[in-house]
Structure 1
Amino acid sequence: MDNGVGAEKDLMEAGAEALPDDRCGIRINGWQIESCKRSILGSLARREWEEKLGTSHLPEMVFGESSLNLLHLESGCRLHFNAFDALKGWKQESLPPVEVPAAAKWKFRSKPVQQIILDYDYTFTTPYCGSEAIELNCEQLNFKDGCQSPHWEDCDQRINLAALVSNEPILFYDEVILYEDELADNGISLLTVKVRVMPSGWFLLLRYWLRVDRVLMRLRDTRVYCSFSGDKDALPVLLRESCWKEATIQSLVAQGLPADSATYCDPNRISQRLPTVAQKIQRLKISR
Structure 2
Amino acid sequence: MYDSLLIFLISTKDKRRHLTALKCLNPKMSHKLPKAGTPIPKAVVKDQFEFGPWTCTSFKSHILKSEGQERDEYEAQLSLPHLPEMVFDKNRLHIEHQNGFGLEFNALDALKLVRDDQADLKVAEADEWLAARVDSDHAKNIFRPYDWTFTTDYKGTPLSRGGIQLGVSDTNERINIEKLKKGGKIQFYAEMVLFEDELHDSGTSMLKVQIRVMPDYFFILQRFFMRVDKVLVRINDTRVYHEAGTDYILREYTSKQNRVEDLKVPPEYITDPNLLSDHMTKTKEKFEKLTFPTTNPTLKPVASNSRISCTPVSAGSAT
TM (norm. structure 2) is 0.71
Q: 1:160 to 1:273 in 2, by over 3 A?
A: same
- 1:246·1:274 contact (CA, 8 Å) conserved in 2? yes
1:52 is matched with: 77
Q: Quick check: 1:82 aligned with 2:106? A: yes
In the TM superposition, 1:35-46 aligns within 5 A as 35-42=58-65, 43-44=67-68, 45-46=70-71
- 1:78·1:135 contact (CA, 8 Å) conserved in 2? no
1:109 is matched with: 138
2:190 is matched with: 174
2:223 is matched with: 207
2:280 is matched with: 274
Q: 1:173 to 1:125 in 2, by over 3 A?
A: same
- Report the Cα offset of residue 104 of structure 1: 4.2
Counterpart amino acid of 1:60? E
Q: Quick check: 1:263 aligned with 2:269? A: yes
- 1:93·1:126 contact (CA, 8 Å) conserved in 2? no
Q: Quick check: 1:120 aligned with 2:143? A: no
Distance across 2 between alignment mates of 1:175 and 1:220: 17
Distance across 2 between alignment mates of 1:283 and 1:108: 49
Distance across 2 between alignment mates of 1:76 and 1:278: 31
1:236 is matched with: 247
Secondary structure at the counterpart of residue 180 of structure 1: strand
- 1:179·1:190 contact (CA, 8 Å) conserved in 2? yes
- 1:180·1:188 contact (CA, 8 Å) conserved in 2? yes
- Report the Cα offset of residue 272 of structure 1: 1.2
Distance across 2 between alignment mates of 1:209 and 1:117: 19
Distance across 1 between alignment mates of 2:156 and 2:134: 32
1:12 is matched with: none
- Report the Cα offset of residue 106 of structure 1: 6.4
Q: Quick check: 1:70 aligned with 2:95? A: yes
1:158 is matched with: 174
Match of 2:46 among 18, 23, 33: 23
1:250 is matched with: 261
Distance across 2 between alignment mates of 1:194 and 1:40: 18
- 1:239·1:283 contact (CA, 8 Å) conserved in 2? yes
Distance across 1 between alignment mates of 2:137 and 2:82: 13
**Identity across the alignment (%):** 36
Distance across 2 between alignment mates of 1:124 and 1:37: 21
Secondary structure at the counterpart of residue 246 of structure 1: strand
Deviations 1:112-139 (A, max 9, x none): xx83443321100001000002124xxx
Secondary structure at the counterpart of residue 47 of structure 1: helix
For the aligned residue pairs, the C-alpha RMSD in angstroms reads 2.1
Q: Quick check: 1:61 aligned with 2:69? A: no
1:284 is matched with: 290
Deviations 1:61-93 (A, max 9, x none): 0000110000101x2102100000000011368
Distance across 2 between alignment mates of 1:57 and 1:26: 36
Secondary structure at the counterpart of residue 152 of structure 1: strand
TM (norm. structure 1) is 0.78
* Count of residue correspondences: 243
Q: 1:92 to 1:158 in 2, by over 3 A?
A: farther
- Report the Cα offset of residue 168 of structure 1: 1.6
- Report the Cα offset of residue 149 of structure 1: 3.4
- 1:215·1:249 contact (CA, 8 Å) conserved in 2? yes
Secondary structure at the counterpart of residue 23 of structure 1: strand
- 1:107·1:184 contact (CA, 8 Å) conserved in 2? no
- Report the Cα offset of residue 249 of structure 1: 0.5
1:139 is matched with: none
Q: 1:184 to 1:132 in 2, by over 3 A?
A: same
Secondary structure at the counterpart of residue 90 of structure 1: coil
For structure 2, the residue ranges without an aligned partner over 5 or more in a row are 1-44, 296-319
Secondary structure at the counterpart of residue 234 of structure 2: strand
Distance across 1 between alignment mates of 2:253 and 2:153: 9
Secondary structure at the counterpart of residue 243 of structure 1: strand
Deviations 1:181-217 (A, max 9, x none): 0112211100000100000110000100001110111
- Report the Cα offset of residue 277 of structure 1: 0.6
- Report the Cα offset of residue 176 of structure 1: 1.1
Distance across 2 between alignment mates of 1:218 and 1:57: 21
Distance across 2 between alignment mates of 1:162 and 1:190: 27
- 1:37·1:66 contact (CA, 8 Å) conserved in 2? yes
